[in-house]
Copies of this chain bind each other. A is one copy, B any other.
């Protein structure tokens, strides 16, 4: 919890809160009209706009005693911004809905918005609008739009037999961080931080599009789960080979301490927002992608995922309501 010299959002009122949240927002090249009217207006020079929305709920995606409001804002923005990157597009703007209890300190809401703004700034995007309502629990609804800059979008459905399978960004860090926090610890700090907010490889999205990626997906549910989404959309098998994986030191340390296989975090942990993409067999992988497997034709089991030669039939990732 934070101090609240400014009182609660109930004291400030809806319009006061919206004003505080959107103060300073809207100053980016793509913004034609920022907050304060019935809608914002954003440039769409490509003539097409990509759009995605994500919800984040207190107690399910974050806890106020584990994450600062800035962390929460960054994490909420990242989920939508990473989706835009996974199409090969560049985010331009966000709109944000905040449902929150009336006794929430204004400083929490303002810091959360600062987190949203900071994360968006990493890709040159800004918050252009929002809505706030009273509710029992904090819910953030973040919608991102973006520009394809004249390029074809990179879909989930384009993977071809013989393609390389590649990853940009971290795998398993957020899951390991959550395991640390769940056990009541606060270190290794890099893992805890990875749970608190991800560091998606945003630039990898457009780089993959320029690098002739045949398909791409944001890894939000877990590598195996999202590879399966891509495999089914493309009607292929994604064969992942973990034998050459270098396990990052913090993951190795936490896995040893808890006597688990760090590869399972890397295969099933969500929320790191890595990018999984496929590239033609002979393509040079654009930075920061590295190869983790190959695309093969579906056999009797149909489209799906195998890891080190073993078929993965179970969900292998995070899904709500399960």
Contacts and interface: CB of A to CB of B under 8 A. Distances in A.
Contacts of A261: none
A36 B233 CA distance: 9
Interface string A201-229: 00000000000000011100000000000
A42 interface: yes
B38 A321 contact: no
Given A9-B321, A41-B153, A145-B145, A51 B128 contact: yes
B15 A319 contact: yes
Interface string A8-31: 011011110100000000000000
B321 A10 contact: yes
A33 B155 contact: yes
A53 B129 contact: yes
Given A42-B48, A321-B12, A54 B131 contact: yes
B135 A137 contact: yes
Contacts of A102: 321
Contacts of A51: 39-42, 93, 95, 128-129, 143, 145
A39 B133 contact: no
A15 B12 CA distance: 38
- Determine how many copies of this chain the complex contains: 2
Contacts of A84: 38-39
Interface residues of A, number: 74
Contacts of A55: 97-99, 131-133, 141
Given A37-B157, A53-B143, 5 more contacts: A36-B156, A38-B217, A43-B48, A53-B129, A136-B136
Interface of A: 9-10, 12-15, 17, 32-33, 36-57, 60-61, 83-84, 86-87, 89, 93, 95-99, 102, 128-137, 139, 141, 143-146, 148, 153, 155-157, 216-218, 233, 319-322
12 contacts: A15-B319, A38-B83, A38-B86, A38-B218, A39-B86, A39-B144, A41-B49, A44-B44, A47-B47, A53-B95, A57-B99, A60-B134
